[in-house]
Every structure is written in structure tokens, then in C-alpha cells.
Amino acid sequence: MRQLSDEEEPAVAVRGLTARYGRRTVLSELTARFPRRRVTALVGPNGSGKSTLLGVLAGVLPPASGSVERASARRPGFVPQRGAVPDSLPITVRETVAMGRWAHCGPWRRLSKRDREVVDGCMARLGVLDLAARRLDALSGGQRQRVLVARGLAQEPDLLLLDEPATGLDLDARRRIAAALEEAVAAGVTVVQATHDLDAAARADHCLLLDEGRLVAEGPPAVVLASVAPGS
């Protein structure tokens, strides 16, 4: 675990960030830094703005004011909560993970040999290669979430954003996802994940605590999490 120095260029910096859904302000004047090639945990109670912050970082929600400064122009990878992906999608596991290659080859072009190798490799890392031909709607919750993480990794992003990637999953699924993220960071990927799992947050390199759309604390997890009540 390493603390971000003031001189080090972060992967992402947000300054004075405000975000709204309609007239409702969800994030207010948030300024924070996300260290490059490290894991940042976003913690806080439900409704604190964690998912909204991920949406802004992913570029799917425009900020109402403030700025988002990325060190790279590459598109971030984004793994939403399981409930954000319809259960009834009539596609296979392989087709789902292959969607992660669309940023490289386009949605209507055939996958290249390398694309197929990346897809197979990501499925293998998450332990779902043997499920490649099964439909997404036939999987258990843990299997399905591992497929979504594999799809995010298949984008080969340098910034990977995850919204509660292990919530409600069994121990095996949590371990596989954690191992895949550790491998990604070792390969140079910056990971930002929203989580209610304080043990997972404690293993991160950097931590942001949000409450009611505002940044309450930022820094080493041991320091930030000391002020978090169990169940937050």
C-alpha cells in the first residue's frame, strides 16, 4: 500500500465537481485525486454519491460544474452493478465479454484473432471460460458478475471503474474478482471501485469517504475508515 504524494500525477483528478439528476444535486463541489496504477475505494452510505461519481468518471453523466482531468484519453472501462444489466438479455457469456472489444473493433466488425484471445483470456481469469456458450440469463449472480468484470477487463482500459463488484457474492466469486483486479493493477491499470465491504476497502491503496454528495475524507484507508461506522 502506498500513499499518493502531492507531486505525483494522478490517473484522474476532479476539481469542484458538482453533478445533478434533473434538479437534484447528487455531488457537491467535490475535489479529489485518484492515484495511477493503484486501487481507490469509494465508501459511504447508500445515496452518498458513489455511483454518480463513477458515472461522471466513466463519461456517462456530464458534470453540472467543475472538471474531470484524466491523464489518458483512452475510454475507461465501467462495470455497473448487477441490477443495472437486464436479466433477460438473450446473449451468451462469450458475446457479453466480446462487447468489451467494441471500443477497439466496432460493434459490427468481426473479432480479430487477438480480440478472441483477449476475450478468452479475460474469461479464464474470472473462471467463466467453461460457461462461454451459456446464456447470461442462465447464470447465478456470482457467475454473472464475474462475466461483467471480464467484459470490463476485455476493453483493456487503463482506468477500470466498478460499482459494488462483489456485493452479495459468495466467497469464491469475491476471491476471483479480487485476484483479477490485483492482476490488472500489476499490469498498470488504475482501479476505482465503490464498495460497502470495509475489508476490501482496507486493502485498497487510497480511499474516499462520501456522505450526502460531499467528500468527507480522503487518504490512506486505515485513516479514512477509522471514521466509518460498521454497515456504511
3 located within any domain: no
Q: Dump pLDDT digits (tens) for 196-214.
A: 999 999 999 999 999 999 9
Give one DSSP letter per residue of 75-124, joined into a string. Answer: PPEEE--GGGS-TT---BHHHHHHGGGHHHH-TTSPPPHHHHHHHHHHHH
Q: How does residue 227 score in pLDDT terms, banded at 50, 70 and 90? A: confident
- The mean pLDDT of 52-68, rounded to a whole number, is 95
- Do residue 59 and residue 164 come from a single domain? yes
Query: What is the reported pLDDT for 35?
Result: 96
Q: ∠ at Cα 208 (61, 157), nearest 5°?
A: 55
- Do residue 34 and residue 94 come from a single domain? no
Helix, strand or coil, per DSSP, at residue 187: coil
Which CATH number belongs to the domain containing residue 63 in this structure? 3.40.50.300
Please state the domain count of the chain: 2
Q: What is the DSSP letter of 135?
A: B
- Do residue 20 and residue 39 come from a single domain? yes
Q: Dump pLDDT digits (tens) for 146-157.
A: 999 999 999 999
- Do residue 118 and residue 227 come from a single domain? no
- Do residue 50 and residue 147 come from a single domain? no
Residue 13 CB neighbour total at 10 angstroms: 16
As to burial, measured by CB atoms within 10 angstroms (0-12 exposed, 13-18 middle, 19+ buried), residue 231 is exposed
Residue with grid cell 468481426, as numbered in its chain? 110
- Alpha carbon distance 152, 161 (integer Å): 8
- The mean pLDDT of 135-143, rounded to a whole number, is 89
- Do residue 113 and residue 130 come from a single domain? yes
Element (H, E) at 10: none
- Do residue 54 and residue 165 come from a single domain? yes
- Alpha carbon distance 232, 72 (integer Å): 32
Top-confidence residue, 22 or 54: 54
Q: How does residue 38 score in pLDDT terms, banded at 50, 70 and 90? A: very high
Q: Which of 171, 185, 187 is nearest to 41 (CA)?
A: 185
- Do residue 62 and residue 93 come from a single domain? no
7 located within any domain: no
Domain, as residue range, for 46:
16-76+159-170+189-232
- Alpha carbon distance 93, 137 (integer Å): 9
- Do residue 33 and residue 47 come from a single domain? yes
112 located within any domain: yes
Query: What is the reported pLDDT for 107?
Result: 63
22 located within any domain: yes
Query: What is the reported pLDDT for 1?
Result: 46
- Do residue 96 and residue 132 come from a single domain? yes
Query: What is the reported pLDDT for 167?
Result: 82
Q: Which residues contact 12 (CB under 8 A, 6 or more apart)?
A: 33, 34, 57, 68, 69, 70, 71, 159, 190, 192
Average pLDDT across the chain, whole number = 89
91 located within any domain: yes
Predicted TM-score (pTM) of the model is 0.90
Residue 22 confidence (pLDDT) above 80: yes
- The mean pLDDT of 167-172, rounded to a whole number, is 85
Amino acid at 227: S
- Do residue 51 and residue 165 come from a single domain? yes
Residue 230 confidence (pLDDT) above 70: no
pLDDT cut 90: percent of the chain above it? 70
pLDDT cut 70: percent of the chain above it? 90
Least confident interval from 5-14, 31-40, 71-80, 152-161 = 5-14
178 located within any domain: no
